[in-house]
Structure 1
């Protein structure tokens, strides 16, 4: 009888561990704050970067307009090397802004309490056009806004996540895009859940609960699947504040910006493009 009761208890415990997972939607930071209010040091909090922490200041570069960006890119820059060079100019010269400045204080508060905070982004790591290191460029951009993820990982060595570079997905097999952990940030061009699992495994990290904030549901589902396998409780927050108040795209401005980029090898911000358009119309 005791063996039977023990078996039932074990089954129920396993069921709880594997089943405690949820994904919720949020278009304001208050929902994130509520979910982090009672978090303890046995938990890990993960943030996506683009459209969660920071976003491009110029309208055409914001994610809701990606389809039109691709149209402009395809029609104006037919060669792959040319396109890569010009996009590296955009990355180097464009400005970014925080999605919500309260997020900076939230992360600093978590870190001050000893709670581990991590960034997980789909991005390249090595050379790209004129940029010698995309990982350094991304980390510098985050730090310029007050996000310093290395605070949570002092003494933890940077590491290429071996094995993932053999993935057949997109750029993961290229040297410039090797998945890696770098200064508190996981960079990957492949499945985010897969990259997170490799990170946890390499550093032998165990957490009772992981909260992940991302603007794309597919990334949350990927991490949910991984953590279910690892018996780690999971809360995913689909955070869409960055796309909630987007205005209709000014296509004339966007076309001018890409035209100047192709001809002059420089990126002009919205304000400068608007001034040029006004001058042309006078």
Structure 2
């Protein structure tokens, strides 16, 4: 959310629900974004839509993993909701080249690391923000 805010992108303006929603299984809906917390995304979308009593005419879903697109598409077909899935593959080459050197950087700079973000539990995409020569530096893997 902070990254979107920094880019002045506010998904809550067109969101079907304005208030935050918290689910028992850790799923969170905040500022127009549904966080699945590792749960099957079609199931999470189903749970969310039932909770807000809403059936969209169409769903546009963007993800870097084909299996997640398939999950949401399957859900949409079941409810006869139009579906457009876009697979985001810009980082595929970087991910394929990812090596263990990130662990070395983290270990050497542990006391200097300001922020470490791992965008999914598989370590697919990582950002490390750390201090180097009293300046903030950032590595993206």
Q: TM-score, normalised by structure 2?
A: 0.68
Deviation at 1:141, TM superposition (A): 2.6
Measured against aligned partners, the alpha-carbon deviations of 1:171-204 in whole angstroms (never above 9, x if no partner) come to xxxxxxx112111111122111111111111112
Larger strand proportion of the pair: 2
Structure 2 SS opposite 1:241? coil
**Tell me, which stretches of 5 or more residues in structure 1 are unaligned?**
1-138, 166-177, 274-282
Bigger relative contact order (CA 8 A; separation at least 6): 1
Structure 1 consecutive aligned stretches of length 4 or more whose deviation exceeds 6 Å: none
Contact kept in structure 2, 1:161 and 1:195, CA below 8 Å = no
**Aligned match of 1:180:** 28
| Cα 1:206–1:250 shift into 2, 3 Å | closer
Question: Which structure carries more helix by proportion?
Answer: 1
- Give ranges in structure 2 of 5+ residues lacking alignment: 115-127, 134-141
Contact 1:159-1:182 at 8 Å conserved across structures: yes
TM-score, reference length from structure 1: 0.37
Deviation digits for residues 95-138 of structure 1, max 9, x if unmatched? xxxxxxxxxxxxxxxxxxxxxxxxxxxxxxxxxxxxxxxxxxxx
How has the CA–CA distance of structure 1 residues 181 and 256 changed in structure 2, closer, same or farther, with 3 Å as cutoff? Answer: closer
Q: CA RMSD in A?
A: 3.0
Compute the displacement of 1:145 (Å).
2.3
Count of aligned residue pairs for this structure pair = 119
Rounded to whole Å, the distance in 1 between the matches of 2:112 and 2:5 is: 27
Return the alpha-carbon distance in structure 2 between the equivalents of residues 260 and 182 of structure 1: 33
Structure 1 residue 243, shift from structure 2 partner: 2.5
